[in-house]
Amino acid sequence: MNPEHTTARAGDPAPSGASAPDATPVPASPASATPLGTTRFLTLAAAKKAADTAMSSALATGYPVSVTVVDRDGIVIARQRADTATGATVQVSLSKAAAAAGFQMPTAAIQDYARANPGAVYIPGFSILPGGLPISLDGSVVAGPGVSGAPTGEIDAACAADGINAIS
């Protein structure tokens, strides 16, 4: 048994060749008080409400769309597809949402950035078409909705903004 990797319990005799553990209390610093971190996140209920509102906004203007809300890591929290939305809109809404959350900026801004930095266009799973927006809480991006299916990205983005406003 390697004494270097042995954990002593109260009342156990010390292994031969090992010294008794130091019983002097060491004050815990706030950073080391727990090995667990904390993170902010968008709840399922809030993601559903944002998606519902974005969908309602698009349908009210006559556009069948798909809406996807992802967490900060690009994992789907909520997804909807209007009855007559094309299948392509489902994947595009996901890639817009993932890009907005991943880059922590609206996809329209990423599109502007890509004009000078064309490599931004070639990131797998990300779409730089307008219609994806980040959702921030206390200065940190926690999620992003993506909308696809309206005739312009600006309309998609306005619907996504309506979804965010519904939970803000």
- The predicted-structure confidence for 132-158, as pLDDT tens digits, reads as follows 999 999 899 999 999 999 999 999 999
Please tell me the predicted confidence (pLDDT) of residue 12. 41
DSSP H helices in the chain: 44-60, 88-103, 107-116, 153-167
* pTM of the predicted model as reported, rounded to 2 decimal places: 0.78
Higher pLDDT pick, 55 / 30: 55
Q: Which CATH superfamily is domain 44-86+95-167 in?
A: Haem-degrading domain (3.30.450.150)
pLDDT digits (tens, 9 = 90+) for 26-46: 454 555 577 888 889 999 999
Convert 81-107 into a string of H (helix), E (strand) and C (coil).
ECCCCCCHHHHHHHHHHHHHHHHCCCH
Residue 79: burial class (beta carbons within 10 Å; 0-12, 13-18, 19+): middle
Q: Is the pLDDT of residue 73 over 60?
A: yes
Please tell me the predicted confidence (pLDDT) of residue 37. 82
Q: How many residues does the chain have?
A: 168
Q: Measured between alpha carbons, how far is residue 120 from residues 70, 112, 116, 132, 159 in Å?
A: 20, 10, 9, 15, 24
Please tell me the predicted confidence (pLDDT) of residue 33. 72
Q: Is the pLDDT of residue 19 over 70?
A: no
> Which tokens go with 157?
């983005």
Please tell me the predicted confidence (pLDDT) of residue 120. 81
Q: Is the pLDDT of residue 112 over 70?
A: yes
Residue 113: burial class (beta carbons within 10 Å; 0-12, 13-18, 19+): middle
Residue 9: burial class (beta carbons within 10 Å; 0-12, 13-18, 19+): exposed
Q: Which residues are bridge partners to 148 per DSSP?
A: 66
Distance, in Å, from the CA atom of 77 to the CA atom of 165, rounded to the nearest integer, reads 18
Q: Is the pLDDT of residue 110 over 60?
A: yes
Q: Is the pLDDT of residue 13 over 50?
A: no
